[in-house]
Amino acid sequence: MAVSSYIGRFAPSPTGPLHKGSLLAALASFLDARANHGQWLVRIEDLDPPREVPGAADLILRQLDEHGLHWDGSVLYQSTRLPAYREALQRLAHAGLLYACYCNRARLRTLGGCYDGACRLYTINSSSVVPDKPHAIRIQLPEPSSITVDDLIQGQLEFNLSAAGDFILWRRDHLPAYQLACSLDDGYQNISHVIRGSDLLDSSPRQMHLLRCLNLETPRYGHIPVLSNRQGQKLSKQNHAPELNASEALSNLLDCLRLLGFSTPSELDRASTQQVLGWAIEHWQLANIPSLTRVTESDK
Ligand code: GLU
């Protein structure tokens, strides 16, 4: 068999156990990788201690295992990568792309979600000295700038990169922001395909832009529908989505396959998780997945 250059990943934040919505993303990225004879990596995005739940990372890994989703190589923990994020930040600063932002929450609230660039004068580079007060670090975006994401599931999408203004790369509480850590690690791990939920659709143009600024390859992106409960809310810990249970692994997998557009044969109702996954790898087609941004649990 030819060696595949496909490398996919699942990158959960350890903010709680996996629920069916997170299983949907894990399963879709796993199946796409395996159907393409690729590797499937797991990365724990543990960069937000205030939101993390002790023990959640180990629990997530156990739940993946119990559902037959076995990953390749060792798990990458983002908390071990801080020096790399700092180094990338420095490279962007040398290129004159970063500035310190002193705006407080109250001011940001008045802007309605689109940062106005008020702090752009505080450029961070080797010759500038910015005021020594608490600040976030933002990247200055070109304006206007349209960016095309050729999404593997949603089709070709045009974004205005600066629609929400310059975004944050380093937080006021001294933590790297998701956009920086995630794109840098996708580059570092040579990820070729990112299959994830549509709640992250807006992140893709930003991550592509950052990777280009850092001279790293951009992966292909594919966004699956997000699973909502019957009240139309995204399944999440806040909405009390039940955690995945090992004793229901088979029905969880079958439910997720149906949500991903498969009609599963009835023999699979009595099969093992490995048989279900084997069947799904063999029949996997991205074209089956509904190009919706949401599906509800009752869409089965
Ligand atoms: N860690 C992010 C989350 O759990 C997902 C990152 C990604 O898939 O790009 O929402």
Whether 20 is in the pocket of ligand 1, judged by its Cβ within 6 Å, is no
- Are the beta carbons of 217 and 187 closer than 8 angstroms? yes
Instruction: From the CA of 197, give the closest atom in ligand 1.
Output: 8
Q: Examine the pLDDT at 123 and tell me if it is beyond 70.
A: yes
Closest CA to ligand 1's atom 6: 11
244-277 per-position pLDDT tens digit = 999 999 999 999 999 999 999 999 999 999 999 9
Q: What is the DSSP string of 154-223?
A: TEEEEEETTTT-SPEEE-TTS-B-HHHHHHHHHHHTT--EEEEEGGGTTHHHHHHHHHHHTT-PPPEEEE
Where is 274: in which H helix or E strand?
Answer: helix 273-283
Instruction: From the CA of 25, give the closest atom in ligand 1.
Output: 8
From first CA to last CA, the distance across the chain in angstroms is 36
What is the pLDDT confidence band of residue 1, given thresholds at 50, 70 and 90? low
What are the extents of the domains in the chain?
A: 7-81+189-299, 82-179
pTM as predicted: 0.94
Q: What is the pLDDT of residue 293?
A: 77
- Are the beta carbons of 99 and 124 closer than 8 angstroms? yes
How many angstroms is it from 11 CA to the middle of ligand 1?
A: 5
| 82-179 maps to CATH 3.20.20.70 | no
Whether 180 is in the pocket of ligand 1, judged by its Cβ within 6 Å, is no
167-184 per-position pLDDT tens digit = 999 999 999 999 999 999
206-227 per-position pLDDT tens digit = 999 999 999 999 999 999 999 9
Q: Examine the pLDDT at 26 and tell me if it is beyond 50.
A: yes
State which CATH number among 1.10.10.10, 3.40.50.300, 3.30.200.20, 3.40.50.620 fits the domain covering 7-81+189-299: 3.40.50.620
Alpha-carbon span 97 to 16, nearest angstrom = 35
What is the pLDDT confidence band of residue 300, given thresholds at 50, 70 and 90? very low
Domains 7-81+189-299 and 82-179 share a fold: yes
277-295 per-position pLDDT tens digit = 999 999 999 999 988 778 8
How many angstroms is it from 276 CA to the middle of ligand 1?
A: 25
User: Which residue's structure tokens are 């200055």?
Assistant: 140
Q: What is the mean pLDDT of residues 1-18?
A: 90
CB atoms within 10 A of CB 13: 19
Q: State the burial class of residue 124 (Cβ atoms within 10 Å of its Cβ: 0-12, 13-18, 19+).
A: buried
